Structure 1
Amino acid sequence: MKIAQENDKVLGFDNEGLGRRPTKKTSRNRVMSPTVAARELMRDAWPIQRYGKLDNVFYQAVRFISPRVAKQFTPRRARSIWEGSARRIDSDEMDALRAAIIEEAHREQQELRARLAALDKKVAAFSESVAGRSVASSSE
């Protein structure tokens, strides 16, 4: 009898752990599916605030992604990725989305630099006018 019990444990028939999920090293909360990752990349690459409406977003996404993928990339495909309802994401689509993120970062950086240059000009003009008034008032 004792030998049979030892064989059952070796074969995996022991009742320990029944009814519980096996523990994993990574939790399910940390794992992101490719469709969700693609949705987040797309929303970051083409923010709705910049383009105004979704049709413009899809048009720009198709213009950017189409030359970078082997399959035909349509506005309908862009919408399914945007909504997170795509069944699968091809690797070349994911690569194109990552490239779009980089392009958006460059575009945003250029806009910020232009905005900072404009603000520097305004501050310099204001400083000159204030300095001119103080010099004029002190000379009188």
Structure 2
Amino acid sequence: MTTPGSDLAVTRRLVIPAGELRERFSRSSGPGGQGVNTTDSRVELSFDVATSPSIPDDLRPRLLARLASRLTGGVLTIAASEHRAQLANREAARARLVAVLRDAAAPPPPKRRPTKPTRGAKERRLAEKKRRGDVKRGRRGSYDD
């Protein structure tokens, strides 16, 4: 797990310096008892994907395209408020940011090569169709009674 204040290693090529991350703290809803109204335990972690110098130029278009629905003005924001402690929420937000960026930075899957059924597969399919037809034909009774 990463500690707040340290660099984030997303992939071998992409390491985000802690200085490029912006954290905002606010009051969190949920568990916390009386302290929930006084502690700023909710964390909003923001990272500017569009202008960050730590993102390689060949990777930036892929990140921007895949994260388009989550970006606001080129900035990716992750919120974490599931823990009572601010430190735990900071770690959760950083872990989530790394996961989102890692998924978006993954190379596209290899292109599918179209295939055709083999001759044996075609013959088996036709033989099975013929068998089913024979079974159904055998169920037909004569209505000459």
TM-score between the two structures when normalised by the length of structure 2: 0.27
Q: Which has the higher helix share?
A: 1
TM-score between the two structures when normalised by the length of structure 1: 0.28
Q: Which has the higher strand share?
A: 2
